[in-house]
Amino acid sequence: MQRRGALFGMPGGSGGRKMAAGDIGELLVPHMPTIRVPRSGDRVYKNECAFSYDSPNSEGGLYVCMNTFLAFGREHVERHFRKTGQSVYMHLKRHVREVRGASGGALPKRRNSKIFLDLDTDDDLNSDDYEYEDEAKLVIFPDHYEIALPNIEELPALVTIACDAVLSSKSPYRKQDPDTWENELPVSKYANNLTQLDNGVRIPPSGWKCARCDLRENLWLNLTDGSVLCGKWFFDSSGGNGHALEHYRDMGYPLAVKLGTITPDGADVYSFQEEEPVLDPHLAKHLAHFGIDMLHMHGTENGLQDNDIKLRVSEWEVIQESGTKLKPMYGPGYTGLKNLGNSCYLSSVMQAIFSIPEFQRAYVGNLPRIFDYSPLDPTQDFNTQMTKLGHGLLSGQYSKPPVKSELIEQVMKEEHKPQQNGISPRMFKAFVSKSHPEFSSNRQQDAQEFFLHLVNLVERNRIGSENPSDVFRFLVEERIQCCQTRKVRYTERVDYLMQLPVAMEAATNKDELIAYELTRREAEANRRPLPELVRAKIPFSACLQAFSEPENVDDFWSSALQAKSAGVKTSRFASFPEYLVVQIKKFTFGLDWVPKKFDVSIDMPDLLDINHLRARGLQPGEEELPDISPPIVIPDDSKDRLMNQLIDPSDIDESSVMQLAEMGFPLEACRKAVYFTGNMGAEVAFNWIIVHMEEPDFAEPLTMPGYGGAASAGASVFGASGLDNQPPEEIVAIITSMGFQRNQAIQALRATNNNLERALDWIFSHPEFEEDSDFVIEMENNANANIISEAKPEGPRVKDGSGTYELFAFISHMGTSTMSGHYICHIKKEGRWVIYNDHKVCASERPPKDLGYMYFYRRIPS
């Protein structure tokens, strides 16, 4: 308390009215009931405004409400005051000054002791060449009276305690739940001033071995002298001989990084002196001292075992346009997103999303209305956070180029006002990923899965009658022909992206690929240097043809035969979306169940015409299969579990779940696989994963009736999702048991793809639904099932039109798996391509359009 009091004794800021000592207590008396002391579980926001990306580093500082503990920038605090009537705010401001000597050079580095705010610091200021001073004061609205802190003598005890609690509170984004947040590691006290010997040591990308023994696993690089030594011995006889620790005891060099864990997003760093894993904010610089470029590293346990390191260097360089001097871009639409630790998948998707005018109009265009009518806690509102992110990316407020005159003036005043170098999507990520075990972690994720997750959130939180995600919606016509009767069935389903298979057999350089593979295997067997990478070159036309080729169906329900049958399925576009998202299916699984990535180059066209894939419907001479549903067959225990709602998630065989998760599948997908196969083991669950991995909700959390909802994967257990979109009777019964009409339940389930939780949301969001609407239910008794038909179904929300498109954005992935590596986005703006690499936004010189993972096309008006 004494230390904080000394730090608070700073001059008050300008623009407010300072109180005389005798008036302070009297002034606060009317507001005392509104001042709270943060309790355990209260989220205290001190780093970021709820409506913008203003922080204590911003020119106007940050205002923290002393009742709700929400924070607001100078532009938005008045809105909160008018809406809630809360008058007392704590104003936080960080002053940054560059320390300069008399000759104009920087003074020797020294420890800064005038900071008390727990803030993220920009990399270029994260050194002792700058001096920070944090200032806090109470501000009373609407007259803007200011009370400098601390003021123990004049402030009531409750106010003093509340102020101290707010200032000492931890970030709301620190780990709160062991299942959803990663451990927060401390920054090593040795990182800022780490000594590195200029001994000429350079570390190769592979072939590492302990300098004191022959071990090639669990190796650690000492960041002072570059020694490579083995780690500790473990109880299971794995690990090492402890030579890295011995080296520290001999030499006293404190920090080491584990080889094989280095990626562009960080690495495992250990402090021998502090005896715990730590963070090194200068890790990139410390590794570069030994010739290691973090941007070109891919984490593996053993360099010799990962022959992909050399293969992937080219991919990293090409996609990031390394070796080319890229010109930074500033202004509206050219704002980057800081990497929060494997958050590049989110950044890339959001950059592409907010380059679409419909999303810009829906959120940023409605900013005043959305902000004015936001809930009392705007940090927990999807539309508010989408609008905040969109405004941050598009306004240009956080992407300003340095101005020479301003720099000179700052030097003269000895005050440094840093330019915003991108925005941090921490609040947005925390909200959109909550309750999702994969996206809420700090692990790398699949950009395509996050795109579908985001579309689902947009669907559930639409603004008025317009839904910006409708620009992606399209209808797929699926035609199945029974191999025995030759009769056909046509069905339609809604989708949001086109998944394009990789036609490896159509590679134009097959001979070169075969020769490369033989040479590679020989080099690997004899431990010789690997040959130069040869990437498969696939024509786009071959991939498009593979997309439209018939697919064998082994066990569909043939109504004519009243039994399972074999058939052939083909898919066509029943409608074309306004914006077409194409995913290249580069990821697959080897015979050993290990995920792998096709290293391919596809000549994706700038102009795309898929009009020839338009659905044609029932053709002359074709005979439709009778419209009879299959019998519903449910295993007894599964049926009892669902109907009686006695599911206990703890019944799931966690050992099988972990076996699947270790193969690289999303954890929640593994839990669903084990649950829906009745705990019959990992092998049976693996087969379920292979069948369902293309479904949009594949990685969504497992939810069951009676436990907050039923995932669409649950509906597939009853065989109902593929036949006329008929909702399963079991789920209809659950909804009607809650007091809703049967026709309401069916309509809601059909509108939400038989997802119980979303269906309930749909019912509550459509109070205008009436029993006498044009939605008519006809019941026909059948020996096997009740058939539900719709006289006048509500048409799907699609924006059909021409199937001619122009490429305007693409997302690329670097690495061997969607669970690792790095994502980058390229967007065409104002006639030129721009590369978005986390917080760095530059004009692209060589956009690698042939190496993309997701492509975004806009319709060309006919």
Nearest Cα residue to 638 out of 683, 677, 680, 685: 677
Per 3-state DSSP, what percentage of the chain is helix, strand, and coil (rounded to 5)?
A: 30, 20, 50
In the chain, the amino acid numbered 8 is: F
Q: Give the whole-angstrom CA distance, residue 671 versus residue 409.
A: 60
Q: Give the whole-angstrom CA distance, residue 112 versus residue 107.
A: 13
What backbone phi and psi angles, to 5 degrees, belong to 370? -65, -45
Q: Give the whole-angstrom CA distance, residue 784 versus residue 630.
A: 7
Is 842 annotated in a binding site? The answer is no
Q: Could you write out the DSSP letters of every residue in 808-826?
A: EEEEEEESSSTTSSEEEEE
Nearest Cα residue to 262 out of 294, 231, 239, 285: 294
Q: Give the whole-angstrom CA distance, residue 551 versus residue 570.
A: 6
Is 65 annotated in a binding site? The answer is no
What backbone phi and psi angles, to 5 degrees, belong to 4? -65, -40
| Residue showing tokens 């033989």 | 518
Is 243 annotated in a binding site? The answer is yes
Nearest Cα residue to 492 out of 856, 803, 798: 798
Per annotation, catalytic residue among 247, 282, 391, 822 = 822
Query: Judging by beta carbons within 10 Å of its beta carbon (0-12, 13-18, 19+), is residue 568 exposed, middle or buried?
Result: middle
| Residue 822 a catalytic site member | yes
User: Which long-range contacts link 327-332 to residues 24+ away (Cβ below 8 Å)?
Assistant: 327/842, 327/843, 328/401, 328/840, 328/841, 328/842, 329/399, 329/834, 329/841, 329/842, 329/843, 330/396, 330/399, 330/400, 330/401, 330/841, 331/396, 331/399, 331/400, 331/401, 332/394, 332/395, 332/396, 332/399
Is 49 annotated in a binding site? The answer is no
Contact present, 17 and 146 (Cβ < 8 Å) = yes
Query: Judging by beta carbons within 10 Å of its beta carbon (0-12, 13-18, 19+), is residue 229 exposed, middle or buried?
Result: buried
| Residue 296 a catalytic site member | no
Copy the structure tokens of residue 117.
């705010």
Contact present, 182 and 280 (Cβ < 8 Å) = no
Considering only CA atoms, give the Rg of the chain: 30
Which 3 state secondary structure label does DSSP give 789?
strand
Dihedral sign for Cα 725, 728, 729, 734, please: negative
Q: Give the whole-angstrom CA distance, residue 185 versus residue 168.
A: 18
Copy the structure tokens of residue 160.
């003093």
Q: Give the whole-angstrom CA distance, residue 312 versus residue 316.
A: 6
| Strand 255-258 versus strand 269-271 pairing type | antiparallel
The size of the chain, in residues, is 862
Packed helices 667-676 and 654-661: angle between N→C axes, nearest 10 degrees: 130
Bridge partners of 837, per DSSP, are 840
Per annotation, catalytic residue among 49, 65, 163, 344 = 344
Annotated catalytic residues are 344, 822
Binding residues, by number, are 210, 213, 230, 243
Binding residues for Zn(2+), by number, are 210, 213, 230, 243
